[in-house]
Amino acid sequence: MHPAPSLNSMMYHVYLLRSKKNSTFYIGYSNNVVRRLNEHNSGMIGYTKKFKPWELIYYESFLSMDDAKRREKSLKYFGKAYSGLKLRIKESLNKREGAGCN
């Protein structure tokens, strides 16, 4: 799951990653999700380096960086927003990378 390349330079994305090592989740934002995922997986990001490799589970796109920052903060610090997201994407959270679709 990767955002359209033409959108990367004009959009900001809030993303949800899952550690393949221990299924820990990480929420962040970036204007380039593919680059940011590569940074997480190469160990360039302090917090996530010990839980790599990571897989992209979900992302949302915004025209405004401020909107993306606000959404990231609400997912990180307000339980209802995060719980609501997990309910909305529960099937995606249960899938494992590489698993076939029925």
Domain CATH number, residue 73: 3.40.1440
Residues 6+ apart with CB under 8 A from 2: 33, 34, 56
What does the block give as tokens for 16? Answer: 């949800």
The torsion defined by the Cα of 47, 48, 50 and 51, in degrees rounded to 10, comes to 140
Residue-level pLDDT at 10: 87
Contact between residue 60 and residue 75 where contact means Cβ atoms under 8 Å apart: no
The answer to whether residue 64 is domain-embedded is: yes
Residue-level pLDDT at 97: 54
What sign does the CA torsion over 83, 12, 98, 100 have? positive
Q: Is the pTM of this model over 0.85?
A: no
Contact between residue 15 and residue 26 where contact means Cβ atoms under 8 Å apart: no
The answer to whether residue 44 is domain-embedded is: yes
- Can you give the residue range of the structural domain that contains 51? 6-94
The answer to whether residue 47 is domain-embedded is: yes
Contact between residue 13 and residue 64 where contact means Cβ atoms under 8 Å apart: no
The answer to whether residue 24 is domain-embedded is: yes
Does the pLDDT at position 101 exceed 70?
no
Number of domains in the chain: 1
Q: What is the mean pLDDT of residues 32-39?
A: 96
Q: Which of 58, 51, 53, 44 is nearest to 13 (CA)?
A: 58
